[in-house]
Amino acid sequence: MIGCHWLGFLFLPLLYLSGTAAFDESLLKKCAQSGFCHRNREYAKNISETGGSYYSIERGSVRYDDDRHTVTADILKRIPRSEGGDKIVVLPFTLDLLNGSQVRFTIDEKREVDDFSDMLTTYRYNETSTWCLVDPDHLGVKHSDSLRIKNPSFWNKDYISIYDVQTDLRVVLQLAHFSLKVYRHENLQVTINDRSFLNVEHLRSKDEQEQNLVPEEVKFDSFYDSFAYASTDSLPFGPESVALDITFHNYQNVYGIPEHPDHLKLRDTSGGEPYRMFNADVFEYTVNSVMPTYGSIPFMVSNRPGSSVGVFWMNSADTWIDIKYGELDTGTHWISETGIVDVILFFEDSPLKVTESFTNLSGRPALPPLSSIGYHQCRWNYNDATDVLTVNSEMDKAQMPYDFIWLDLEYTDNKKYFTWKPDAFPNPLSLLSKLAQFGRNMVVLIDPHLKVNYEISDHYEEAGSTIKNKHGDSFHGQCWPGESVWIDTFSSKAQKLWAGFFQTFIEGAKNLFIWNDMNEPSVFDGPETTAPKDLIHYGNFEHRSVHNLYGRTFHEATYKALIERYVHEDKRAFVLTRSFFAGSQRTAASWTGDNAANWDYLKISIPMILSSNIAGMPFIGADVGGFSGDPQTELLVRWYQTGIWYPFFRGHAHIETKRREPYLLPEPAKSIVRESLKLRYALLPTLYTAFHDANVSGIPIMNPMFYVKPNLEDVYSIDDQFYVGQHGILVKPITTKNVTKTTIYFPPGKYYNYHNFDAFTLSSGDYVSVKAELDEIPIFLEGGHIITRRDRFRRSSKLMANDPFTLVVAPDIDGYAQGTLYYDDGETFAYQRGEYLKVEFTFKDFKISGKVIHMSSKFANLSIERIVIPKLSSLNIKETINVEQNNKKWMSSVKNAENSYVIQNTQINLGYPWTIQL
C-alpha cells in the first residue's frame, strides 16, 4: 500500500508510479471550501471597505486587579437590527502583562443558552492554554513592581494605558473601537484589531441566524459542511469562529507557524490560500505550499534590527492565517474555527530572546538520551529478528556508526499494538539484548488506533476511554488494522491504562523506545484524512476544539508511560511523534513525515526544520533519502550530507522501496556517506551541548541565519544555509543535482573552511563561491568559536562514553575565541541532580585555557587529547609546547599541518583548569 489514507489510496499509486510525488490536494479544504475561513475572509474584505466596527469595551465593566495586574472588562459586540434595538453579545476580556515583556489577552463569549446539545458542554473550549503553558495561572510569573496604570478613572477617557517602567513597555487599550497597541521604547510594535477583523461568531440557533449577522458577514456553510468529504459534520453549535488581525509595525517579515512545506520567511497570502494549521496525514505533501501537514505550533516571529516580536495564538482548533506585507507594516489575520481568543505577544531585542521567552512559557525542549542524537536506521519494515541483526552487523562491517534500529508497523501481530509477530520476533528480549551489546537501542511503532476486538481495544472500550462519535458511542473508523477505535488521551484514565500496557509490553527491556505515528489522528475513511470534527472527547467537548492538540496528548501519554516503566533505571525516554503542537517539545522528537525521494523534498526539509526550531520544537528531522520512491545515488549522498545536521537524524523508507541502507551504496558513495556519518558522531559533543542549551533556554539547535545575525537584513530571507547551535558552525548542504560548487552568504567576519582551515576575512557580508564536489559538504567555522569533537571511530555513541575530546579553535580577527562543552551520562536524569560537566574554553592573547563551570566527580577522568588551531600570521609554534594544569607542566608535541597546528597527546584533564601559552 502506498498512501496513508483511504480516500487517497486510489489516486496515489498512479502518481507514485509516474514518478511525480504529490498529495491529492482535493482531499483537503481550500479556504473557500471551509465555512469559517471563507466567512472570515469575506468579513475582512467587506469591513475594510465599509470601515465598520462592532466591538467596543464597556467602560463600566473595566476592572484592574492590583495584585495580579490584570485588566478585565466586557467587550460588547453590537449587532444593528432594524427592529427592537441592537443585539448585544458580551465577550469577557482579560489583559495581563507577563514578565514585563509579554502581553497576554483573552476574549471569550458569555453563553447564556445551554440546551444546544445533551452531549456537549456549551462553553467555548478555553483549556488550550492549560496544555500550552507550563504555568497556566502565571503563578511563577514576575509581576513587576514598576507597573503604572495611567488613567485609573477609566470612565473619563477613551483608553487605558499600562506602562512597565523597567522594560519600557506600554500597552494602550482603546475602548470605543476595540484595539490594543503595544509600544516598546515608545516605538509602536504591534496593534491588535488595527484593521477591525475581530470577529467572534457568537452562539445562535439556525432559526436565529438572520438576526445575528452584521452587514459585512456572509452565511456560507454556517450550519452544514458542503465539502464532499465532511458533509456528515453536524456542526452542533453552528458558526463559532474567532478571528482577529495583528499588525506588526515597521516589520517586513514573519516566520514560524510550523509545519508547512514552505520557505522560512512566510509568504504574502493575498490572492492565494492562507497558511493552514490543521494536523493531517498528508502523504507526499506538496512542496512550496501553505498546506497543513502533521503538526502545528501557532507561534510566529517577526524581526528587524534591534527588535523582535512574537505571537502565540493559543487555539487548538483548525486555524488559517493570512499574511499581507505592506510597505512598512506586516498584517496578519488569524482565524480559528472555535475556542477562544487567547494570545501572548512577546517583545524582545532579538528573535533568539523571543524563542527563549516563548519556551519559558510553553516549556523547554527535553534533554534527550545522548544516543538519540546519533544516527537512526529505520525502514518500513525490517522483517524479522535476523533481518535486524543483519542490518546491525552490515553497518558494523561498513564501519558506519549508528545508535537506533527501528521496527515499523509490520513487527506487530496483525497490527495489534503491544504484540509481536510471533514467527518473526519470537524472542524480542533476546534481540534487544543482542543490540545492547553494541550499545544500541530499538524503537517500535505504536499508534493511537486500536484494532477492534482484541485485549487492548476491549479494555479501552469497556473503560469508556475511547473517543466517542456524535451520538456518544465509541467511534469506529478505518486505519492500518482495518476497523479501529481511538484512545482518548484527554482522559487521565486512558493515560493510566496506557502506562499499564507498557509495563508488561516491555517488561525486562532496557533499550526499547517508542514511535507514535498517525496521531493527527489519521483516519482513512475520515474527512480530510483525519477524525470527524464532531467526535466527542472526555470532558464533553468536541474534537473540533482540540484537533491540533490530540496528537500531543497521545505522545505525552506514551512519554509518561515510558518514564514510569524505566523509573528504576532513572532513564530518559525517547518518543518520536508525527503530530505535534506547542508544548510537544517537552517530551518528544518529531519528523517532517512522508516526503519523497526527490530533490525538492531535500531542499524544503531545511526551512521546515528551521521553522520548527524557532518555534521551540528543535528535535526534528526529515526522512533521509525521502520516504517514498527510490533515491538515485547522488540524491542519497547529498541527503546524508544534509541529514547529519538535522537535530533528529534518521534514514527511513517506504515498504515498497528498494533497500537503501547506507552500506548498500556503491563506491565512492558508500565511503562518502561513511565520512558523513563519522562527522556527525565526531561532532556529537558540540551537538549535545546545543541540545543542553535548548534544554535550559529553549533556543534552536539548527539556527536560521537571522537567529545568529539578527541585525543583518541581508540574511532575513536565507533558508538554505544555517548555523549549528551557537557554535559558529556555518553549513550550506547541497540540495541540487549535478552541483560541484555553490555560493554561500557570509556575514562580516573571519571564516575557516572546516575541512582544510583555509581562512578568509570579510569586512562586509558577501556571497562567496565555494567548491562542493560530491564528497564535499560546505562547512565553515566562524572566527570567535571553539568547538569540541570526539575523533575516534566507535560503532555507537554509547561506546564513545570514555573517549577523549579534540578542541578546534577558530580565532576571530582580534585573535579571540570561546566555546563551551556540556556533558553528562547521556541516559539518566542524574544531570538534574548536578551530575554533569560544563567547561568553558577561551583563546586570548595566544593563550588557550579551560575553566570548569561545573564538575561532577563522575566525569573526572575525561580528557582532551588534541587541540587544533589554525595558523595565524603572528603565530609560530615550535615542535613542542608546554601544557599547565594543577601546578604541573608537561610538553606536548605539535604537528605542523598545512593550514593548522595540531597540539597532540595533550593529556589535559577536563575537570580542572588548564592553560597553554602558544
Among 24, 216, 240, 408, binds ligand NOJ (CB under 6 A): 408
Q: Crossing angle for the helix pair 669-682 and 684-697, nearest 10 degrees?
A: 50
Minimum CB distance to ligand NOJ smaller for 554 or for 627: 627
Whether the CB-CB separation of 546 and 471 falls below 8 Å is answered with no
CB of 597 to ligand NOJ, least distance (A): 13
Minimum CB distance to ligand NOJ smaller for 621 or for 685: 621
CB of 478 to ligand NOJ, least distance (A): 14
C-alpha to C-alpha distances, 205 to 35, 107, 117, 222, 231, nearest whole angstrom? 16, 21, 11, 10, 19
Minimum CB distance to ligand NOJ smaller for 249 or for 652: 652
**Residue 475 near ligand NOJ by CB under 6 A:** no
307 membership: H or E segment, kind and range: strand 307-313
**Residue 238 near ligand NOJ by CB under 6 A:** no
Minimum CB distance to ligand NOJ smaller for 259 or for 594: 594
Whether the CB-CB separation of 874 and 845 falls below 8 Å is answered with no
**Strands 620-621 vs 589-591: parallel, antiparallel or unpaired:** parallel
Residue 701: DSSP 8-state = S
Minimum CB distance to ligand NOJ smaller for 4 or for 89: 4
Q: CA-to-CA distance for 281 and 283, rounded, in angstroms? A: 6
**Strands 341-348 vs 102-107: parallel, antiparallel or unpaired:** antiparallel
Minimum CB distance to ligand NOJ smaller for 593 or for 607: 593
Minimum CB distance to ligand NOJ smaller for 367 or for 531: 531
Residue 871: DSSP 8-state = P
Number of H helices, E strands in the chain: 14, 50
**Residue 407 near ligand NOJ by CB under 6 A:** no
- Mask: binding to ligand NOJ, 351-380, rule CB under 6 A, as x and -? -----------------------------x
Q: CA-to-CA distance for 898 and 895, rounded, in angstroms? A: 10
**Residue 131 near ligand NOJ by CB under 6 A:** no
CB of 480 to ligand NOJ, least distance (A): 7
Number of residues forming the site for ligand NOJ (CB under 6 A) = 11
Q: CA-to-CA distance for 818 and 726, rounded, in angstroms? A: 11
Minimum CB distance to ligand NOJ smaller for 552 or for 578: 578
**Residue 868 near ligand NOJ by CB under 6 A:** no
In terms of Cα–Cα distance, which of 354, 345, 362, 346 is closest to 192?
Answer: 345
**Residue 733 near ligand NOJ by CB under 6 A:** no
CA 454 to chain centre: 35
CB of 690 to ligand NOJ, least distance (A): 26
CB of 605 to ligand NOJ, least distance (A): 14
DSSP 314-358: ---S-EEEEEEE-SS-EEEEEEESSS-EEEEEEEESSHHHHHHHH
**Residue 384 near ligand NOJ by CB under 6 A:** no
333 membership: H or E segment, kind and range: strand 330-336
Whether the CB-CB separation of 480 and 449 falls below 8 Å is answered with yes
Greatest distance between any 2 Cα atoms in the chain: 97
In terms of Cα–Cα distance, which of 342, 345, 308, 355 is closest to 97?
Answer: 345
Residues 696 to 725 in contact with ligand NOJ, rule: CB under 6 A? none
Q: CA-to-CA distance for 81 and 88, rounded, in angstroms? A: 10
3-state secondary structure of 554: helix
Residue 645 burial (10 A CB sphere; 0-12, 13-18, 19+): buried
Helix, strand, coil proportions of the chain in percent (round to 5)?
Answer: 25, 30, 45
**Residue 259 near ligand NOJ by CB under 6 A:** no
Locate the DSSP E strands across 352-395: 375-377
* Residue 124, all three cell numbers: 467555548
CB of 616 to ligand NOJ, least distance (A): 22
CB of 586 to ligand NOJ, least distance (A): 22
| Residue positions annotated with a catalytic role | 517, 520, 594
Q: CA-to-CA distance for 646 and 373, rounded, in angstroms? A: 9
CA 801 to chain centre: 29
C-alpha to C-alpha distances, 92 to 72, 106, 124, 125, 459, nearest whole angstrom? 7, 8, 12, 14, 42
CB of 532 to ligand NOJ, least distance (A): 21
Q: CA-to-CA distance for 696 and 677, rounded, in angstroms? A: 27
**Residue 804 near ligand NOJ by CB under 6 A:** no
Minimum CB distance to ligand NOJ smaller for 361 or for 602: 602
**Residue 781 near ligand NOJ by CB under 6 A:** no
**Residue 409 near ligand NOJ by CB under 6 A:** yes
Residues 564 to 583 in contact with ligand NOJ, rule: CB under 6 A? 578
Instruction: Please provide residue 454's backbone torsions phi and psi, each rounded to the nearest 5 degrees.
Output: -145, 170
**Residue 782 near ligand NOJ by CB under 6 A:** no
- Mask: binding to ligand NOJ, 650-679, rule CB under 6 A, as x and -? --x---------------------------
CB of 552 to ligand NOJ, least distance (A): 17
Minimum CB distance to ligand NOJ smaller for 27 or for 744: 27
Q: CA-to-CA distance for 116 and 377, rounded, in angstroms? A: 51
- Mask: binding to ligand NOJ, 626-645, rule CB under 6 A, as x and -? -x------------------
CB of 383 to ligand NOJ, least distance (A): 14
CB of 627 to ligand NOJ, least distance (A): 6
In terms of Cα–Cα distance, which of 156, 167, 163, 197 is closest to 181?
Answer: 163
Is the link from the previous residue into 212 a cis peptide, with omega within 30 of 0? no
In terms of Cα–Cα distance, which of 737, 744, 701 is closest to 720?
Answer: 744
**Residue 520 near ligand NOJ by CB under 6 A:** no
**Residue 615 near ligand NOJ by CB under 6 A:** no
Among 12, 254, 445, 614, binds ligand NOJ (CB under 6 A): 445
Minimum CB distance to ligand NOJ smaller for 143 or for 652: 652
Among 428, 477, 593, 725, binds ligand NOJ (CB under 6 A): 593
Instruction: Please provide residue 839's backbone torsions phi and psi, each rounded to the nearest 5 degrees.
Output: -130, 145
CB of 623 to ligand NOJ, least distance (A): 7
* Residue 94, all three cell numbers: 482579560
**Residue 417 near ligand NOJ by CB under 6 A:** no
Minimum CB distance to ligand NOJ smaller for 375 or for 627: 627
Among 4, 31, 608, 864, binds ligand NOJ (CB under 6 A): 4
Q: CA-to-CA distance for 775 and 748, rounded, in angstroms? A: 27
Among 517, 534, 720, 865, binds ligand NOJ (CB under 6 A): 517
Among 240, 259, 403, 594, binds ligand NOJ (CB under 6 A): 594
Query: Can you give the binding site for ligand NOJ, defined by CB under 6 A?
Result: 4, 380, 408-409, 445, 517, 578, 593-594, 627, 652
